[in-house]
Amino acid sequence: MSPELVLFLQTLVSGILIGFVFSLLSVGLTLIFGVMDIVNFAHGEHLMLAMYATFWMWTLWGIDPLFSLPVVALLLFILGVITYRLLIRYVLDAPMLAQIFVTFGLMVFLRNLAQVLWSEDYRRIGDTLLSGRIELFGIFIGRPQLFASLGAVITTGLLYFFLKRTRTGWALEATAEDKEVAGLMGINTERMFALAWGLGLASVGVAGALLATFNPIFPEVGTVFVLVTFVAVALGGFGSVPGAFIAGIIIGIVQVLGGFLWEPRFKTVLIYAIYLGVVFIRPQGLLGRR
Amino acid sequence: MLRVQSIEVRYDEVPALHDVSIDVREGEIVAVIGSNGAGKTTLLRAISGMRPPARGEIFLDDTPLHTLKTHQISALGVAHVPEGRGIFARQSVLRNLYLGAFLRSDREREETLERVFDLFPRLAERRNQSAGTLSGGEQQMLAIARGLMARPRILMLDEPSLGLMPKLVDLIFELVQRINQEDGITILLVEQNVRESLEIAHRAYVLETGRVVLSGSGEDLLHNEQVQRAYLGM
């Protein structure tokens, strides 16, 4: 293989790998939106918290991210339920602006809280069980990246299975389609809202633990990932889980290929160009409904 | 069995129901008739907890319903087939029916499903089709069938004949009567289709601008001069 081709494949693979993680992040966001029509603007900050949780468990107690992952997911699930119970519940019937301010305010609050508690320093998790890289047909793949995308795919798959194959998953989808009628079926819709927040944040928890193994951790780290997540959710169609999954991969590929074929500093420009294209040509997104 | 005692329901502080009382006894078909905006839908919404009354009380036997949430009222055996059908258009027909039996065990669900397919053979044929692709009449049947899947004690139907062609209207009324007679399910029927409703109803109430103005047996109301003039065009 020519060096250019190897480099191209190398870039493509890394784009797909990070794309799966974008997918998981987007699924978490779109799940909450789909069920209750509320956008969680603190999504990135929840990711940041998950990354810090992974970091501190590794630093303080030497727990490898591989093992702290389920704990972080559970912590974020609980945080999601608490966030719903203490905050979101009160703006369910409020004007959209009030709903935006609540999660936007939460974003500012969490970010500042992290700055106060853990300072602006960039933190890194050193060698873990996942460190190192493997070589496949002349292409190098970082083991943390590989594991991250594997973990993301498995988690997304489990979520999808839960939604499609379990009674509670059906109830969640019914609530997403029509809350009032779901109540008439005997579904406790408030519990479904709490569950949507729990699952949405648990997805972020898994993504955070996975990303923490190869990314610096700092209070604003959420913005690095959350903007592409919002684009992926819009591209996939607000509220569509399969849409968010596909869009996440597309965005991962576009991001790295844009940098590779064009200019690294323009890679995000391409992503937002996609976003504009979606808004103009197909506002409901790939798999969304009008 | 179901007792609504002088309830008042308000929308944005404007009362939609004033001092409304109705009674439904076990095994009956009770019709509530009236024109558009008389408060018929509001009455059902009040009973199922979607719009709790500002004043007054609602009892199922001796259990107060007016303090409960929609899903709790549903669990007590009150099934509400809402105005506009409220089917889950994105889900399959079968999934809609399963959601109707959300609080039932798998065994009960399959048993009821058999009976429901017996009553609505069209739904059996279309079980895997997405509910949004059904015709209006089929959607109405699905909505009623989904209500039955809960094995309710009382089935509340909000204008099941609305927007259907005459042949289907007859079919729906016939099915409502069968459900009442063969399955022993009590029915509270809200309708603008006055003649057919009074024909199958044991008793009926006439609602006008949020008040009960007349009540009696279906038969009596059918021959009542006031009803004939206002609703039957005689």
Q: Do B50 and A173 touch (CB under 8 A)?
A: no
Q: Name the residue of chain B whose CA is nearest to A169's CA.
A: B99
> Which tokens hold the place of A96?
């959209």
A203, A152 in Cβ contact below 8 A? Answer: no
Architecture of the domain spanning B2-77+152-231: 3-Layer(aba) Sandwich (3.40)
Q: Are B190 and B43 in contact (CB under 8 A)?
A: yes
Residues of B with CB below 8 A from A187's CB? 71, 99, 102
Residue-by-residue DSSP string for A167-199: HHHHHHHHHHH-HHHHHHTT--HHHHHHHHHHH
Which tens digit of pLDDT belongs to each residue from B91-101? Answer: 999 999 999 99
Looking at residue B169, its pLDDT comes to: 95
Determine the pLDDT at residue A260.
80
Give the model's pLDDT for residue A279.
83
Contact criterion met (CB < 8 Å) for A186 and B80: no
Can you read off the two tokens belonging to residue B174? 């016939």
Nearest chain A CA: its distance from B104 CA (Å):
10
Distance CA B189, CA A171 (A): 27
Q: A183, B71: Cβ pair inside 8 Å?
A: yes
Sheet containing B203-208: which strands, arranged edge to edge? B78-81, B154-158, B186-191, B29-33, B203-208, B211-217
- Angle formed by the axes of helices B93-100 and B136-149, to 10°? 30
Q: Does domain A3-112+141-281 have CATH number 1.10.3470?
A: yes
Q: How far, in Å, CA of B167 to CA of B164, rounded?
A: 8
Q: For chain B, which residues score pLDDT lower than 50? A: none
Q: Given its phi and psi angles, is residue A251 left (phi above 0), alpha (psi -120 to 50 degrees) or beta?
A: alpha
pLDDT score for B177: 96
Residuewise pLDDT in 10s, chain A (290 residues)? 788 888 888 889 999 999 999 999 999 999 999 998 899 999 999 999 999 999 999 999 999 999 999 999 999 999 999 999 999 999 988 999 999 999 999 999 999 999 999 999 999 998 888 888 888 878 889 999 999 999 999 999 999 999 999 999 999 999 999 999 999 999 999 999 999 999 999 999 999 999 999 999 999 999 989 888 999 999 998 888 999 999 999 999 998 888 787 777 777 888 888 888 888 888 888 887 75
- Name every chain A residue with its beta carbon within 8 A of the beta carbon of B91: 170, 173-174, 177
Are the C-beta atoms of residues B9 and B54 closer than 8 Å to each other? Answer: yes
Q: Report the candidate in B26, B27, B2, B24 with the shortest Cα–Cα distance to residue B181.
A: B27
pLDDT digits (tens, 9 = 90+) for B43-77: 999 999 999 999 999 999 999 999 999 999 999 99
**Amino acid at position B205, single letter:** Y
- CA B180 to each of CA A194, A249, B30, B153: distance values in angstroms, whole numbers, following the listed order: 38, 54, 11, 11
Please tell me which residue of chain B has the smallest CA distance to A289: B90
- Residue A185 to residue B150, Cβ atoms within 8 A: yes
The whole-number pLDDT of residue A290 equals: 56
| CATH code 3.40.50.300 region(s) in chain B | 2-77+152-231
State the pTM of this model.
0.91
- Residue whose C-alpha is closest to residue A175's, from A197, A154, A158: A197
Q: In terms of C-beta density within 10 A (0-12 exposed, 13-18 middle, 19 or more buried), how is residue B117 classed?
A: middle
